[in-house]
């Protein structure tokens, strides 16, 4: 006789392994939406916003390295990414503050 709980456990482990890593830029319309997602804990929101920030900063760096002064499309893309970085930083600061307050730390 086999243990009936073992296949369920394996299925859960397989699902956890197969689940794609969260991609905040794909999964949220804006950094503000992620900041306000109460389904996530503050630590997870902070982690995802940090990931978002790193992703955008990497893309911004790549864009700026490949931009020529005469390419207005690249200049627009760079400006858009810079604005996204500012929005992510603002959302991240807010979540970091909320997280410190939740832990009882002073600002």
Residue 16: strand, helix, or coil: helix
Query: DSSP per residue over 35-67, as a string?
Result: HT-TTS-HHHHHHHHHHHHHHHHHHHHHHHHH-
Per the prediction, the chain carries an average pLDDT of 81
Q: What element of type H or E holds 72?
A: helix 72-102
Query: Phi, psi at residue 70, to the nearest 5°?
Result: -95, 10
Q: What is the pLDDT of residues 49-89, one digit of tens each?
A: 999 999 999 988 887 776 555 666 677 888 899 999 999 99
């Amino acid at each position: 006789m086999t243990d009936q709980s073992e296949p369920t456990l394996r299925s859960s482990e397989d699902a956890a392994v197969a689940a794609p890593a969260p991609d905040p830029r794909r999964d949220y319309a804006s950094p503000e939406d992620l900041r306000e997602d109460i389904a996530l804990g503050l630590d997870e929101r902070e982690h995802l916003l940090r990931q978002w920030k790193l992703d955008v900063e990497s893309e911004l760096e790549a864009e700026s390295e490949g931009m020529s002064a005469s390419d207005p499309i690249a200049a627009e893309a760079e400006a858009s990414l810079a604005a996204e970085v500012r929005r992510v930083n603002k959302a991240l600061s807010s979540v970091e503050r909320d997280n410190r307050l939740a832990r009882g730390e002073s600002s």
